[in-house]
Amino acid sequence: MASSKPVGSNLTVVRKFGSDPGSLKEETYVPDNFRKGAPLVVVLHGCMQTAEGYDHGSGWSALADQYGFALLLPQQRPSNNALRSFNWFKWGDSHRDGGEPLSIRQMIKQVVEEHGVDPDRIFITGLSSGGAMTSVMLATYPDVFAGGAIIAGLPYRSANTLMQALFRMKGYGGPSDSKLEALVRDASENVKNWPTISVWHGSLDQTVDSSNADAIVRQWQGIHDVEGPPTRTETVDGYPRKVWCDASGREVIEEYNITGMGHGTPLETEGAEGVGASGEYMLEVGISSTRHIAHFWGLSAVEQTV
């Protein structure tokens, strides 16, 4: 493997990780306190963002330092998409073993092998187009991920063309609930354990309509056999959280509706628990999606177990 850390950067660029059919860039962050057998979090930036910029805003590397897990941050190239969006709706970039999904899978394999990551504790999250690509990765490689968090994203295969993608982003049309579930089930084979799903969306999102959050939940309800109303609804840091639990009582789907928030990642940057930095599409709203997602995945216990 050839790698380098640009001056002033928190992240390391990995130059060789596989055939890279999606022509993406790999960046990683492995904290000094990382120990073999710790988890990995894959973080996907949004439109017009970079891996470094999204990490700075979301605060994932700060949590990696605190809890000792590794980060993988794939980055889109302008040559693939002028807006640096992941191509989640394109046929060649929305299926297993091809395009951008395979590039990300190859990156994961490289990090797991080089650093000794626990293969049963790999997670993925993303914002906007990165959230939509998170949906793609969870559907096409459910055997790889223990959980995923989709922020201001869209359901898997809800669009197949750019025009459809623009309509779905505005909340128009889309596959039926039964079709959405079937799309996930047909995306891979021989799935033993499905990843848990965390969904975050601003109620006033004018870029990706919040109806997409509900559609993501419905897409995965049948997969986890938790159809119907949530097991419970509660308030967390002033915002509603819905939770669906399976027959064993395990939380398998959660949905946060960040009332009054527009398009972006919800942050709490102040105080003892503050993390990240506010900016464009990185929104200070008094709740840290990064911390809550990490807690949902059990990463806050890593410090005591590695």
128 is catalytic: yes
Dig out the tokens for 252 from the structure.
Answer: 């398998």
Element (DSSP H or E) covering residue 26: strand 25-29
76 and 107 in contact (C-beta within 8 Å)? no
CB atoms within 10 A of CB 6: 11
Q: Running DSSP on this structure, what letter comes out for residue 242?
A: E
58 and 139 in contact (C-beta within 8 Å)? no
Q: Running DSSP on this structure, what letter comes out for residue 195?
A: P
Residue count (the chain): 306
183 and 138 in contact (C-beta within 8 Å)? no
Helix pair angle (177-185, 211-224), 10° resolution = 60
The β-bridge partners of 242 are 233, 255
Of 58, 94, 128, 198, which is the active-site residue?
128
Q: What 3-state DSSP class applies to 232? A: strand
289 and 151 in contact (C-beta within 8 Å)? yes
151 vs 132: CA distance, rounded Å: 8
162: exposed, middle or buried (C-beta count within 10 Å: 0-12, 13-18, 19+)? Answer: exposed
Active site residues per annotation: 128
